[in-house]
Each structure stands twice: as structure tokens, then as C-alpha cells.
Amino acid sequence: MSVIELIGVSKEYESGSETVVALSDVDFSAERGKMVTIVGPSGSGKSTLLNMIGLLDTPTAGVVRLDGRDVTDFSEDELTEERRTGIGFVFQDYHLLPMFTAVENVELPSRWDTSVDRHDRAIDLLERVGLGDRLDHRPDQLSGGQRQRVAIARSLINEPEIVLADEPTGNLDRETGRTILEELTRLKDDENIAIVSVTHDEQLVEYADRTVRLVDGKIDGS
Amino acid sequence: MNGISSLLWRFPSAQMAWRNLGRNRVRTALAALGILIGVVAIASLGITGAALQQQATADLGSLTNEVTVSSGADSDEEGVSREQLEEIRGLVTDAEVVPQRTDATTVSSRGRNARVSVTAVTGADSLYDVSSGEAPPQLQNGALLTNSTARELGLELGDPIEYDGDVYRIRGLIESEQGFGGGGDELVVPLSAIDQDHYDSVTIVAADGDAAVAITETLNERFNREGRDENEELSVTNFADAQESIGSFLDTLQLALLGIGSISLIVASVAILNVMLMSTIERRGEIGVLRAVGIRRGEILRMILTEAAFLGVVGGLVGVAVSLAIGFVAFQLITGDPMGVLTWASLQYLVYGFGFAVGASVLSGIYPAWKAANDRPVEALRG
């Protein structure tokens, strides 16, 4: 079954006097254990689509289903809760908190939930991405690749069903990008999660189980 | 710093707030400095006011049990008549009533002159404290003289002194009275020494301040029933009244000082508003990430309010310490007793100052916190 499902989703923005159509009648789904990559030229609506999948934005038309539940009309607070428990995020510029150590950054999304202690899981995840000896390093003491691994560990802390990666290799050199992608693929299989990534990077497409091309807010040829 | 941070581990919003303040220490320190100055302004001005009040009370304390009666504004008499004196004696049974006549003269001895005020009384013992010799209830042909005048003229106990053609022997030496009325150099002679029918004033010595106030009311009731402005037969003055009006003046002064102090705290809270706004705008992307990974709006709100509160607490605590030091100095200078600051009357201003500091900081944090918490994560992430 699809973890996330978008059915006939459109998104329109009011920009001045004209209406900009960012997404038009898009169908999309992602399954556990698979990596889907969304590619397309800039302005094609990739980011908007990723925001819909990540429940960061709501569509103007269509239905969004998470784990089979219709979350289209959820309130902001309900969506926040769904994001916390079900979705992990990896960003192009890592977005780690500079005042916190690697392990603290990884733990962060779980901190406000007092019913669980994910400290051990945080350490375990960092060890699994090869940063077992960097637990107490701050982001400024880590290289770009190491920072992105911390971000990947953070995205997995709450045992999500789906991880969204927005240009995860965008700020990394080719070789580092490759290791990051291998890391992601391995974790995807280990944790049995869906990964949806957005990229310009052709390298990333090699690792994808499926590629979705987006042109002018429409899925191209699928 | 790290100790506090790990202590806060169980309160993630507070811990994040603390860490965020540590991020730009100069900015944090400057914002806290503004608050510090505000607290010092409020608390030290308040404490100084308290010191002034305490000193004024101490200065007036010895005089508050006396009631002075003199001719009223609407009286036809020149002073207090014999009939009025008798009436006063009838009304006031539990206090000493001492009628006085006053004059001024120049006394000379051994070729030296001194200008003195002359007070003619019976019952000098209840009005004057002698430093040497004695003050008998009936002076007869004796006199009392202030120490300083005696020294100036080279007079000693038992020496003769001439006033209005009569010679008196100095029976006692007195200290010049402090505070209101009297004061200066004084010659005290028997009541009969000044030859006039009325009395210039009547001093009533009551057991304490409260009794003096009661006597003042009784006398006003009898002599000034229509209200002082319209029909004042006798002017009845009690220093407890004076103390009260000085007290209320000092209260007003204190309020004005606190007002000035509050202005600096308002300026400081505007600075905090600015700092918090800047720092939330700078951290917009970061806050967007927190929202994206599922941290609720209320938690972001709490985090930023806590940051503002920390600024207030840190600035407030240092401000309280500085104010306390200033308080010791103020009390030393004004009352001569630095430990006087350790009373609730002055320490309360430290509590107010601290309370205002934290309150103003949190208030200043509300808008930035609200703004950051309600920023849509999509917009925030875009930068």
C-alpha cells in the first residue's frame, strides 16, 4: 500500500492580479522500501509537490492521503503532529542547529514528546551513518557530508514512514554525494521507509526505483 | 553555561532558548545590560527615596509628641488669651500644658554680645533637656541658656545674666533644639519675666505622637469648628501632621523617581523587542525546520518567550545586585547606617525592579514569538 498518495492535486497561487498554477491535477504515490525521485527544470513545481507530500502546504484541489487516511483538510496543528510522527526531512543546506551537538540535533524532533527517550536511537543512527566518533561535535566542526549524515539521522529519529529529501546532494561534491545516496538507500531498506527526493542531480536518478518528471506543474509522460 | 544547559535538558523550549542566547553573546549582553540599567534606575531611586523617608522620620521623631498652639488666623487676640489657656487646660488633662511668651534680645557679658531668642515659661523641665545644671519647674529668678551662647559669652553655671532690666542666674545649660521651631540660641526665663497679658504660644507635651494627634483634634474641634480656613481661633500645630505631610511629599517624590526609572525600563524593553525580532528573523529558516520536523507552534512561542524572559532574569539579577550595592551607599550617605537598606521598605524596590524587568522582557517577546510561531514553514524554509 502507498504510504503517501496524492490524487488530482492542484495548487494555485495568487500573484498580484494573475493566478499562477504551480501544480495541475497531479497524481503521485510512494511505497515503503522504494525511492522515488522527482526531477524537472526549475519552476516546474518540484518544490511545491514536495511541500504537498511533506504536509507543509495544502492543495487548492485534490486529495492527500497519508497511510490511507485523508489528511487534506487537517488543521495546521494536526498536520504538525503528522509530520512529527510520520515524516522525516532532509534539506539541501542541512539546517542543523549550530548550538547543538550532532547527537542533540538528531534527538531534537523527539525532544518535545516526553513519553519517549530516543537518546539511544540517536546514538545508534549516528553510528549507522558512520559518525559514532562525532557524537558531541557541533555542526561547525563537521564537514558538509558529515552534516548531511547528521540531518539524515535526524530525519529517521521518530521512525517515520517516509523521508523527504530536497536536493540532498546539492551542496556536496560528487564523491560525497554518492556516499550520501548509498547511505540513504541502505537506511531505506533497513527501516523499510519510502524516500521521495527532489533533484537536479542525474546521479541521484541512478539510485531511484522510480523517477517522476515534472514539467510546468504536470507529470510528464507517466 | 553548559551546566545550566544540561539542567534545562528536560525543558526543551527553555534549553533551546538558553542555547540561542549563547549564540550571539555580545547582543545578548547588550540587551541584558539595557534591562540591568532599567532595574538599577527603578530600584536605586526607590531605595534612595526610602532612605530619605527614614531619615526624615528620624529627624522629626523627637518632636512629634508636642502640640503647639498659637493665635489663629481669624482671631482678634494677639496670642493665646488667659481664658483660652484655661479652656485648653480643661480639655487636655493627660498632658503637660506649657504656656510661653517669646521675645528676642541681645545679651552681653564681658564686652561680648549675643543675639538670642527669649522664651518665658513655667514648667521648663518638660520642654528642655539640660546638659549641665538643672531645669526646675519654677525658674523663679533662674534662667537656662544654650551651651553655645554660654561658651561664646564666657558664661558658666551660676553666672548672672541680664534681661529687660532684671538679673537672672544661669541654672542650667541646654542644647540647641534640632528640627523645627526653636533652634538657635535661646535664653529661657520665668514666665513672669515678659510682661504681657497673653501668651505667644502654648506647647502641649503629650505622651506620644498618637496622643498628640488626638489632642490636636480635640483642640481643633473646640476652637476651629467651622474649619480652619474660615474661622480659626487658634492655630494648632502638631509635628505628627508635619511628618505626615512630609511623608506624603516624599511618597510623591518617590513615585516621580520610580516613574523616571520606569522610562529607562521601557526603553530597555524596546531594545529587547528589537533584539528578539532581529534574532527571530535571522533564524527564520531554522524555526521553519523546527516546524517542519513537527515542533508545534506553541512550543516555538514558548521557546522565544523563554528567551526574552531569560534576558529579563539575567539583566534583572545583575541589576538587583548593583542596586543593592548602590542602596548601601545611599543609606550610608543619607542616614549614616548602610545596614538600613536591609528592611522591606527598601528591599521591596529590588523585588519591584526585578519583577518589572522580567515582565517587560516577556511583554517585549510576545510579538516576535507570535510572529515566529505563526510563520508558515513553507515560507520560512524558502528563506
Q: Which tens digit of pLDDT belongs to each residue from B268-285?
A: 889 889 988 998 998 898
Query: Which of B1, B293, B306 to probe the A interface (max A CBs under 10 A)?
Result: B293
Radius of gyration of chain B (CA): 33
> Considering only alpha carbons, which residue of chain B is nearest residue A77?
B296
Which of B24, B289, B301, B382 would you mutate first to test chain A, the one with the most A CBs within 10 A?
B289
Confidence of residue B131 (pLDDT cuts 50, 70, 90): confident
| pLDDT of res. B2 | 60
pLDDT at B308 over 80: yes
pLDDT of residue B383: 59
Could you read off the pLDDT of B48-94 as tens digits, one per residue?
888 888 888 777 766 677 888 888 777 777 788 888 888 888 888 88
| B39: Cβ contacts below 8 Å, ≥ 6 apart | B265, B315, B316, B319, B320, B322, B323, B353, B354, B356, B357
Containing B356, the helix (H) or strand (E) segment is helix B344-374
- Predicted-complex ipTM score: 0.90
| Structural domains in chain A plus CATH codes | 2-219 (3.40.50.300)
pLDDT at B180: 44
For the whole prediction, is pTM greater than 0.95?
A: no
One-letter amino acid of A70: D
Are the C-beta atoms of A108 and A92 separated by less than 8 Å? no
Nearest by CB to residue A54, choosing from B13, B285, B292, is: B292
B296 and A57: CB-CB below 8 Å?
Answer: no
User: pLDDT-derived band of residue B5, with 50, 70 and 90 as boundaries?
Assistant: low
B123, pLDDT greater than 60: yes
Instruction: Tell me if chain B has a CB within 8 Å of the CB of A141.
Output: no
Q: Kindly list the residues from chain B whose CB atom is less than 8 angstroms away from the CB atom of residue A91.
A: 289, 381
- Cβ-based neighbours of B101, under 8 Å, separated by 6 or more: B79, B119, B120, B121, B191, B194, B196, B199, B200
What the block records as the C-alpha cell of B81 is 488669651
pLDDT digits (tens, 9 = 90+) for B340-382: 888 898 899 999 999 999 999 999 999 999 999 999 888 888 7
Q: Where are the domains of chain B?
A: 2-59+245-382, 66-238
Query: Which residues of chain A register pLDDT less than 70?
Result: 221-222
Is A65 in a helix, a strand, or coil? strand
pLDDT at B61: 63
Q: What are B151-200's pLDDT values in tens digits? A: 888 888 888 888 888 888 888 888 765 444 445 788 888 888 888 888 88
